A = this chain, B = another copy of it.
Amino acid sequence: MHVRAGASHHTNKYDEDLIQLAKIASISSLPEHNTDIQRAAEWLFTRLKDAELEDVQILQTKGQPAVYGQWLHATGAPTVLIYGHYDVQPVDPLDLWTSPPFEPTVSRTGKGQEYFRGRGVSDDKGGLLQPVHAVEAYLKGRKALPVNVKFLIEGQEEIGSPNLAELLVEHKELLAADMALSADGGQISEKQAGIVLGLRGGVAFEVEAQTVGQDLHSGLKGGSVQNPVHALAQFVADLHAPNGSVAVDGFYEGVREITAEDRADAAAFPFDEAAEMESLGALGPHGEEGFSTLERRWLRPTLEVVGIYGGFSGVGIKTIVPAKATAKISCRLVPDQDPDHVMSALRRHVETHAPPQTRLKFLPLPFRAHPYIMPRHTVANRAAAKVLKEVFGAPTLFYREGWTIPFFDLCASHLGIQPISFGFGLPTDGIHSANERFRVSMYDKGREAWIRMLQEIANQAAKPSASS
């Protein structure tokens, strides 16, 4: 058990790595952070080399680069492609953070409930470091890995991986593998592991309502011309039917019926709805009628305004009729909705549903992912179920997730491999929110699970019955 000893001896180095990487403000959606994105990629380049990975390189794209590294000397064993992303979400509203988002901290007092704190510590900088550390433990301990590995760590996941498809196609041979594991993902709780069988896809767009050429004096003109905020509010209000469904023609085209197995997975999932609502600060659940909260999150497509703005937002009041108002809208898609068809339906809706005396403009936003669904029974899933059961001490559940990782579908489409999620974030990590955190115990448990997983994949693949 040389490998596991190696892991525990280097605890401080592991923490230092995450602190160092989380200090880099690699926000992919904000151009002013381009330099930070570059710094993060360079940091990983150096780190993968230090971990004794080979052929380490920075793969350029039309946007931000990805970082690659490999170790391919496990003759006869499967090749595992390991995915992660080094970019992070923006941090506004900054005033909600109790400590600066890019001055990450960690406590290890041994008293439990210990966290890394800072933007990206969970999503996905903590996640991507776990397999790096696991691989390093093998390579510096046993001088060998039980399987072949290839790392692909990209820099545009938080903006929907707009250049990932092209990158996978361009480097198809370099990235060829037998299976793929995503280090971007989470577990159900600290005590309950699960395997994600499906993810929602997504599209996003912006709708701008304009009614007059420029802001007008509300006393002079108020009440006699259309107000773009009123118009946009009406448009947004009408995007949902009274039963909570999305009121856009063609939006639900291709949505699969929910199966008995889907419902059973949702029902078996440990979920205390009242406690969840309390922890979110919500008065209660809300959504499409006829579906449970988990079904709404996993199995149903949604349409959400992620931001709205128009007119005066300063302190006090400015007595104007604004010239325009804008809503940014994100949709989550489920199998077998097609992002392009949905975008066409949305565009058509915007073009044909302008409120009176209003010009509506449709602008696609850079977020586009197919929904993803995978079979239950694969070598990777068998290995993962076994390892997670050992590490978590409870049977591994199968479930679906509501979020979107474009890699899953793109990897399946362009490399012919259906990835599984093997991440260790928790639902309470506050990813994409203020005060993002990552449990120290999950950081350690995940590294341990990755170490076991690389061995277990080799074991499962060696069985006569193995099929990917």
Q: Which residues of A contact B (CB under 8 A)?
A: 29-31, 89-90, 92-93, 96, 159-160, 200, 202, 204, 211-227, 229-230, 232-234, 236-240, 277, 280-288, 293, 296-297, 300-302, 304-323, 325-328, 330, 332, 356-359, 365-367, 401-404, 427, 430-435
Question: Are the CB atoms of B224 and A327 closer together than 8 Å?
Answer: no
Question: Are the CB atoms of A223 and B29 closer together than 8 Å?
Answer: no
CB contact between A358 and one of B283, B312, B357 (< 8 Å): that residue: B283
A317-B236 contact, Cβ under 8 Å, with A223-B300, A229-B327, A287-B224:
no
CB contact between A318 and one of B90, B233, B296 (< 8 Å): that residue: B90
- In the assembled complex, which residues on chain B have CB atoms less than 8 Å from the CB atom of A29? 314-318
Question: Are the CB atoms of B367 and A306 closer together than 8 Å?
Answer: no
Known: A222-B330, A223-B297, A225-B280. 15 other contacts (CB 8 A): A31-B315, A204-B317, A218-B432, A219-B404, A221-B297, A222-B304, A224-B296, A225-B285, A229-B327, A232-B308, A234-B237, A285-B357, A307-B312, A307-B313, A316-B366
Question: Are the CB atoms of A319 and B288 closer together than 8 Å?
Answer: no
A222-B302 contact, Cβ under 8 Å, with A216-B433, A236-B230:
yes
Question: Are the CB atoms of B403 and A219 closer together than 8 Å?
Answer: yes
CB contact between A224 and one of B93, B286, B315, B322 (< 8 Å): that residue: B286
Question: Are the CB atoms of A322 and B296 closer together than 8 Å?
Answer: no
Q: From residue A198, how far is it (CB to closest CB) to chain B in Å?
A: 12
A216 to B313, CA, bound (A): 22
Q: List 9 A-B contacts (CB under 8 A).
A: A29-B318, A211-B282, A213-B280, A214-B435, A221-B280, A224-B285, A226-B282, A308-B310, A308-B325
Question: Are the CB atoms of B366 and A317 closer together than 8 Å?
Answer: yes
- In the assembled complex, which residues on chain B have CB atoms less than 8 Å from the CB atom of A297? 220-224
Question: Are the CB atoms of A317 and B367 closer together than 8 Å?
Answer: yes
Question: Are the CB atoms of A307 and B322 closer together than 8 Å?
Answer: yes
A318-B227 contact, Cβ under 8 Å, with A216-B280, A297-B220, A359-B283:
no
A319-B286 contact, Cβ under 8 Å, with A223-B302, A229-B305:
no
Q: From residue A203, how far is it (CB to closest CB) to chain B in Å?
A: 10
- In the assembled complex, which residues on chain B have CB atoms less than 8 Å from the CB atom of A434? 214-215
CB contact between A293 and one of B224, B293, B325, B435 (< 8 Å): that residue: B224
Question: Are the CB atoms of B229 and A240 closer together than 8 Å?
Answer: no
A1 to B401, CA, bound (A): 86
A236 to B219, CA, bound (A): 19
Q: From residue A343, how far is it (CB to closest CB) to chain B in Å?
A: 13
- In the assembled complex, which residues on chain B have CB atoms less than 8 Å from the CB atom of A281? 212-214, 323
CB contact between A225 and one of B234, B239, B286, B307 (< 8 Å): that residue: B286
CB contact between A304 and one of B218, B287, B359 (< 8 Å): that residue: B218
